[in-house]
Chains A and B, each alone.
Chain A
């Protein structure tokens, strides 16, 4: 089991080149408006982002995709790929997820030989599917036999660790401050992962208005270091 966990760690590493380093998910809008400017305000933003968007979209998608893979219900997986994409109303974050999903798929295909990855890739090429990192990640986690709950927790961690790296560059914060945020957020992630287990499809795609608005407004942010 340790070896499988280690294999999944590789995908969670913020150095894993999916392009996550160029997406701030609207954080940059808050930085420009000076609403996020230090560790406290960043942590506040991060908690809202986790609780009010991430768990209902990517987090819930990991849970449901994993369950669908267990049942070999691939139609359901493709449905989740579509749902994840079309519920993402801000164009930059939607297209960013598609690009990251495709990039991640390419990478893991170089590392693993999993039939569903090939099928997913083909669907994206044929424009039947969009591509999303949460789906690719879950396909690998499921193939590695990592449990659904671990897959959720690791996925959340991977998103948050890239996000903190982005905040360190974008706000900017010190490296130590960044690591302190990552340490402090761990119990929040454990709770969020537990919460996701209690959600069902009816909860999919709930988003808080401010987070979404900031992601839409990012399209018009003048000076930008992030693509979303």
Chain B
């Protein structure tokens, strides 16, 4: 499995309250910028870069991130993930993320834009200690085509596996295939165009916290529709239907703010890149 288009390995550790890279390795069309410290929490914020500007036919990306005990990291991308048409081989991105005791990871990649006739498969495997914290989001847009048609990509497949103490605790599998599915219809996107997902795993999450989350959501708006449920382990997952990336990001932001306020009394900082 050596034929990767881009590889990124990043091991981070906590040094006296500040998270720093222990080693960083990247090769090919995958890069990471120097970390930014947005506040005095010691949490390192890394921006992932795709110097090619997008994923091409047959591209394969591998990312391995590891957080040692008590390390704290925000991981995001510098812009949307664009997958161009893939006439022969699908684009594949694989991530292995390991979170040791007391570590904290926010992984908030920008939205996915799959172009006409693109096939994209993404697999994230998280292995975490029960005392670690994970916040993950993704956003699938209706893609891009020259004529402005929606859902003109071939397939978008996203798989998230979360293991705790080597036992599978979350398995999240979506595969959108507009040629055979009626994506705008009942049971699929139901009139919306954008799909956001969020998974949060943390020992502190309980039912009163979920009630607080519900209070952030407007049940009567036509701008979005949200489903929220607790996981088999302390944590929750959210799916959001909306008609723009921004509407989904707004909800993610308010949830993130609530979590930051509740758990760290930390000030929210913006990840805006533009």
Closest residue of chain B to A49, judged by CB? B187
Give the interface segment out of B11-19, B109-117, B166-174. B166-174
- Whether A90 sits at the interface, judged by CB under 8 Å, is yes
Residue from A30, A87, A89, A90 whose CB has the most chain B CB atoms within 10 Å: A89
In the complex, are the beta carbons of A91 and B189 less than 8 A apart? Answer: no
Contacts of A207 in B (CB 8 A): 173-174
A3 to B240, CA, bound (A): 49
State which of B127-135, B230-238, B243-251 sits at the interface with chain A: B230-238
Q: Is B225 at the interface (CB under 8 A from chain A)?
A: yes
Q: Which of B195, B214, B232 contacts A209 (CB 8 A)?
A: B195
Among B168, B175, B186, B241, residue most surrounded by chain A Cβ atoms (within 10 Å): B186
- Report yes or no: B239 in contact with A87, Cβ–Cβ below 8 A: no
Beyond A86-B232, A208-B181, A210-B186, is A216–B227 a contact (Cβ under 8 Å)? yes
- Most chain A CB within 10 A, of B187, B189, B195, is at B187
Q: Is A66 an interface residue when CB atoms closer than 8 A count as contact?
A: no
Chain A CB count within 10 A is highest, among B167, B186, B227, B241, for B227
Q: Which chain B residues in 176-227 approach chain A with CB under 8 Å?
A: 176, 181, 185-190, 195, 214, 219, 225-227
Check: A198 CB closer than 8 A to any chain B CB.
no
Interface residue from B173, B181, B230 paired with A205 (Cβ < 8 Å) = B173
Main secondary structure of the interface of B (DSSP, over half): strand
- Which of the residues B187, B189, B219, B237 comes within 8 Å of A52, measured between beta carbons? B187
Please determine whether A87 and B186 come into contact, CB atoms closer than 8 angstroms: no
Q: Which chain A residue lies CB-closest to B199?
A: A89
Give B140's nearest chain A residue, CB to CB. A209
Q: Is the interface of A mostly helix, strand, loop or mixed?
A: helix
Q: Is B258 an interface residue (CB 8 A)?
A: no
A44-B186, A220-B214 are contacts. A212–B227 as well, Cβ < 8 Å? yes
B229 interface residue per 8 A CB criterion? yes
A residues less than 8 Å from B181 (CB atoms): 52, 208
CB-based contact A48/B186 at 8 Å: yes
Asked if B190 and A86 sit within 8 Å, CB to CB, the answer is no
Q: How far is the CB of B215 from the nearest CB of chain A, in Å?
A: 12
Binding site for B on A (CB under 8 A): 30, 35, 41, 44-45, 48-49, 52, 56, 82-83, 85-87, 89-92, 94, 204-217, 219-220
4 smallest CB-CB distances across A and B, nearest first, come from A216-B227, A48-B187, A213-B227, A87-B171
